[in-house]
Amino acid sequence: LSPGSAGLHEKQVKDINKLLLDDNLVSEDKIGQANVFWSFPAEQGAKLRAEAQKIRTQLADAQGRLAKAKAAEAKALVGREDPDGSRAAKLRELKALADRKAAVEAELAKYKENDPEELARLQQGAEEFRAHAERWNDNLFALKDWLVKKKNVDPTQVDQLFKSADLPADLP
């Protein structure tokens, strides 16, 4: 059949063949300079049967997982029955106790500033910061001494340098 006898233009045939190739409804091969297109009706049926089998396998796997999950749920529920209806009351009591615990912890946080352990921890932190400050102060004195003795820099210039770095005047 020629495209003209079917009432189609040649560009339409190329577009239709491309669509059929994209949908895997037609196969293509190049023989010499010619492109040959073909389709076997049984091939489409075989693809559909393979896809149906794949879906059936997935369904069977999903049903197996569902059965396992239901069995695990039933196993987990064993011993959790509530014959006397006390579970709801126990859950309410648990919530009330959790609320009370939160209230007590909030009240405890208010008094934390007077806690001896907290005060000791703050005192220890202050001592550490003081030691760090003294170490830096010693380093500044050593730097000033080194600049004056080894590099023959005027002490007033070093003081001006420290002052320009926003260091207190009484440090080095």
Give tens-digit pLDDT for 82-126: 777 788 888 899 999 999 999 999 988 887 777 788 888 889 999
b or e along 120-139 (b: 16 or more beta carbons within 10 Å of the residue's beta carbon)? eeeeeeeeeeeeeeeeeeee
pLDDT digits (tens, 9 = 90+) for 26-66: 888 988 888 888 888 888 888 889 999 999 999 999 999 99
For 31-35, 150-154, 164-168, which range has the lowest pLDDT when averaged over its residues?
A: 164-168
Rounded Cα gap, residues 170 and 64, in angstroms: 81
Nearest to 27 by CA among 13, 17, 16: 17
Q: Does 73 score more than 80 pLDDT?
A: yes
User: What does pTM read for this prediction?
Assistant: 0.36
Instruction: State yes or no: pLDDT of 67 exceeds 90.
Output: yes
Measured from the Cβ of residue 172, the count of other Cβ atoms closer than 10 Å reads 19
CB atoms within 10 A of CB 37: 13
CB of 65 within 8 A of CB of 57? Answer: no
